[in-house]
Structure 1
């Protein structure tokens, strides 16, 4: 049998294959755009001989694609390749961040998080099939549309699917040192709204009660609660339409990250304590989607890490393992106790920015790594 480490992965070929993925922009809140991305991937999976299913979206979000790869035991539990195809970049970002290669770096919206990793792992499956290499376990692929907003519509789908499998691979971008994630901190989201009293800002300013002013003071209070082990970040702030009006409504969104469930519970209590339902300006705080703590050092995951380190050593790089913040759908599968290896995708920098890029040499490096993982994970 051909050694999976010797499969003919080609950087230029992979970049050419990635181009339509990146140039099909797919921001989470644009369901039609996400579904165009799902079309691209579903076609590629079908061309590999996979049995594909389109799972309709919920909550106004895009669809999911599930694919059963060719295998004598296709459809049975084995390895789940889990990734998301939504990005944080709105349609039109390509005008400012076009897909392009400059030497050892390649740029593009969503290339690092996480279309690059998804593509690499599919290319590994493509090359394994072309070489006639049968993986010990059958592989199922699940691509979802809403990870960037906390997975509000597909968590149940992910958890149900993951429970059928022995292992879960999540090709989110690698950690800064190139290492994998073997545990994740908890993440909670909150929506906030202040409601005040409108007035004409030039004529009767004193009669108004500004929702913006109250929210601004609260933003400073919230971010001031941040510690090394439990952080608070206000990432969305919306209010006002006319500068000559005292704004009566202001909306904000907050992300809390905590290293332990106890710290998360404390953080949630602090946020909910900000509710004020009386007075000139009221504050309403609602808890949104939550990612559970994925505790590190679970035996099954650590065994996967050991195998990954062995494979990486044969290729010529190192893979460390650590818990991390940021959140991913690996939170769900890891919290269920299913052996999960996360952040095993491409290496790069500046995800979620207009400088998002990957290191080109990580494409073939991670493809060989992925192919070997598919071939050495056994029941």
Structure 2
């Protein structure tokens, strides 16, 4: 049977996907992420996979690794499907963004980024098995808990697992036109702190040195460094507890992104050079996690993109491959030189917002694309 003609049913897929979406799993809630991993582990165990639960660390949830039966398992490198189960949406988001279908659109927290793509990948494996089709290579699935914060606790796990495989497929959200990602920009994160001098804001304002005010000036300075080669933005800030106290400490987080590794390295140097004392307030910068450049001209990735492009043509659409910003765990595997295709997941819009949704028809399209890749990569 042609894997591109497998009987995928979007309505049935949505029904099975719904429990995943209604199991909220924000990165910083390890117990919630572990509950989501329980659901995925159970579904894959029912499919016949050998399940391994890998405990979390650094305060994050655990990971799930599933190895599907194959006669060549352990004898030759296979295909790794790599996804994350954490989302940016806090528990309670379902009140404002409930799982619901409106015509050809389906809404829900994390449905696009990236539970929909993860689920579609499993559905492709399930339908291939039900049809008695054996993939040329063994298939392993690895779901991790911390991608949305830069993968601080599982990068080594991802790289070690990817090194055992011939190919990596990442079902992050697909592009608007159905295209896939064949390269990603480099990203660096920074932890910022200003340390000032506290005082009573009403009685002794002049004695204080505001950490908040100093951070505000630094944020303007940091974001003004943005240029065509490297961007800088501050997206998190924490400070203060009493309005009648001049703030003594302010913490913030910054992100920098560049298309070329050298440009990012230069940007990191510029950021680190901002440290020092200004008017009695100390400003410090600590390097956070970094995603390396994944170059779009990697030969192995180009080869599997051509396979994907041929499959898309049979499915009736033209597949574009592009390098883009917005990091993923594909940065790591692509930078290692392992043939990697990213953005194989569902199409939609509004990711990371209260309008996050997917196109229902993309469920079957992407399931067929994934099934075709699993059958033709060998």
TM over 0.5: yes
> What is the SS of the residue equivalent to 2:165?
coil
Alpha-carbon distance in 1 for matches of 2:17, 2:371: 18
Displacement of 1:277: 4.5
1:225 aligned partner: 225
Alpha-carbon distance in 1 for matches of 2:323, 2:337: 15
Alignment of structure 1 residues 223-372 onto 2, 5 Å: 223-277=223-277, 279-372=279-372
> What is the SS of the residue equivalent to 2:346?
coil
Displacement of 1:278: 6.8
Residue-by-residue CA offset, 1:153-200 (whole Å, 9 max, x unaligned): 000000010011110000000123321111110000000000001111
* 2:114 is the alignment partner of 1:114: yes
1:166 aligned partner: 166
Displacement of 1:228: 2.8
Displacement of 1:279: 4.9
2:135 aligned partner: 135
Residue-by-residue CA offset, 1:54-77 (whole Å, 9 max, x unaligned): 001110110000010111123452
* 2:40 is the alignment partner of 1:48: no
Which aligned runs of 4 or more in structure 1 are off by greater than 6 angstroms?
Answer: none
Which region of structure 1 is more displaced relative to structure 2, 227-236 or 53-62? 227-236
Alpha-carbon distance in 1 for matches of 2:205, 2:14: 58
Alpha-carbon distance in 1 for matches of 2:228, 2:344: 25
Alpha-carbon distance in 2 for matches of 1:278, 1:93: 41
> What is the SS of the residue equivalent to 1:200?
coil
Alpha-carbon distance in 2 for matches of 1:98, 1:316: 33
2:5 aligned partner: 6
Which region of structure 1 is more displaced relative to structure 2, 179-188 or 274-283? 274-283
2:15 aligned partner: 16
2:35 aligned partner: 36
Alpha-carbon distance in 2 for matches of 1:82, 1:141: 6
1:147 aligned partner: 147
1:58 aligned partner: 57
Alpha-carbon distance in 2 for matches of 1:359, 1:282: 49
Alignment of structure 1 residues 92-103 onto 2, 5 Å: 92-103=92-103
Unaligned runs of 5+ in 1: none
Alignment of structure 1 residues 161-240 onto 2, 5 Å: 161-240=161-240
> What is the SS of the residue equivalent to 1:322?
strand
Give the length in aligned residue pairs: 377
Displacement of 1:234: 0.4
TM-score, normalising length: structure 1: 0.98
Displacement of 1:322: 0.8
Alpha-carbon distance in 2 for matches of 1:317, 1:310: 10
Residue-by-residue CA offset, 1:99-130 (whole Å, 9 max, x unaligned): 11101111110010000000001000000011
TM-score, normalising length: structure 2: 0.98
Alpha-carbon distance in 2 for matches of 1:175, 1:11: 19
> What is the SS of the residue equivalent to 2:295?
coil
Alpha-carbon distance in 1 for matches of 2:291, 2:341: 17
Alpha-carbon distance in 2 for matches of 1:179, 1:197: 52
> What is the SS of the residue equivalent to 1:53?
strand
